[in-house]
Amino acid sequence: MKHTDALAQIYARSLYELAEAAGGQEKIVEIEDELEQICELARADQVFREFLTSPIIDVKRRAEAMHRIFNDRITDLALRFLLVLNAKGRAGHLESISTGYSQLVQAAQGRVEVDLYTPGPLGDEQVQSIKQRIQQAIGKEPVLHRFTDPDMLGGLKLRIGDQLIDGSVATRIRRMRQNLMSSGSTDLRESFDRIVDGGDQI
């Protein structure tokens, strides 16, 4: 799951409200698709990514290029939004804004993005079981993003928004060790005291 900063969330909210006013749910989803396509292009094409992010490109020249690239290829609302970002020096933040926008769309549809980390790939039945358990726990349909972490000994980790739920084996072992070092050491001291006092036999 990608994360957004406060400013990106403000831009995402503004665009969401404009899309809602322009055509309701259909327009909202259309804009989401267009933003994702532009971000995919930026991720795949270094030249285009530098075009969006480079501070040395003149704002006016970038706006003219945006018109040439996107005119009649994306909705007028999406193009106007790109031009606003460019004018404000925020074109390089499009990825984060797109993420914030998608989160708004999913929240409105009763869905939530969840990052799922496991030591290895899971079967379809395991994934479905995890999805059902998450949905029962939070009352929303999870959109799972699956990652493998070979450093994990077992178990799984979930990231929902800013919250990390760590059910990995390594974390369980660490907690057990911490418990033993705290409450366990107290038990050992009490046992030692009883032995010294003659209350226990070795």
Tell me the CATH number at 73.
1.10.520.20
- State the average pLDDT for the chain: 84
Q: Is the pLDDT of residue 196 over 60?
A: no
Q: Are residues 100 and 126 in the same domain?
A: no
What is the rounded average pLDDT of the residues 31-51?
Answer: 94
Q: Are residues 161 and 173 in the same domain?
A: no
Q: Are residues 32 and 56 in the same domain?
A: yes
Q: Are residues 16 and 102 in the same domain?
A: yes
Residue 139 within any structural domain of the chain: yes
pLDDT of residue 201: 43
Q: Are residues 24 and 47 in the same domain?
A: yes
Q: Is the pLDDT of residue 171 over 50?
A: yes
Higher pLDDT residue, 138 or 25? 25
Residue 101 within any structural domain of the chain: yes
What is the rounded average pLDDT of the residues 185-190?
Answer: 57
Residue 89 within any structural domain of the chain: yes
What's the number of domains the chain is made of?
3
pLDDT band of 96, cuts 50, 70, 90:
very high
Higher pLDDT residue, 6 or 67? 67
* 3-class secondary structure per residue, the chain: CCCCCHHHHHHHHHHHHHHHHHHHHHHHHHHHHHHHHHHHHHHHCHHHHHHHHCCCCCHHHHHHHHHHHHCCCCCHHHHHHHHHHHHCCCHHHHHHHHHHHHHHHHHHCCEEEEEEEECCCCCHHHHHHHHHHHHHHHCCEEEEEEEECCCCCCCCEEEECCEEEECCHHHHHHHHHHHHHHHHHHHHHHHHHHHHHCCCCC
Residue 73 within any structural domain of the chain: yes
Q: Are residues 99 and 10 in the same domain?
A: yes
Q: Is the pLDDT of residue 112 over 70?
A: yes
What is the rounded average pLDDT of the residues 19-47?
Answer: 94
Q: Are residues 149 and 118 in the same domain?
A: yes
In tens, the pLDDT along 73-94 reads: 999 999 999 999 999 999 999 9
Tell which of 107, 126, 153 closes a domain: 107
Tell which of 59, 89, 107 closes a domain: 107
Higher pLDDT residue, 139 or 10? 10
pLDDT band of 24, cuts 50, 70, 90:
very high
Domain ranges, residue 202:
169-202
pLDDT band of 59, cuts 50, 70, 90:
very high
Q: Is the pLDDT of residue 98 over 90?
A: yes
- Alpha carbons within 13 angstroms on the beta-carbon side of residue 60 total 0
Structure tokens at 151: 């450093």
Structure tokens at 9: 């969330």
Q: Are residues 14 and 56 in the same domain?
A: yes
Residue 21 within any structural domain of the chain: yes
Q: Are residues 175 and 125 in the same domain?
A: no
Residue 1 within any structural domain of the chain: no
pLDDT of residue 202: 39
pLDDT of residue 178: 72
What is the rounded average pLDDT of the residues 17-36?
Answer: 94
Q: Is the pLDDT of residue 101 over 70?
A: yes
Residue 15 within any structural domain of the chain: yes
Tell which of 85, 107, 129 closes a domain: 107
Q: Are residues 16 and 76 in the same domain?
A: yes
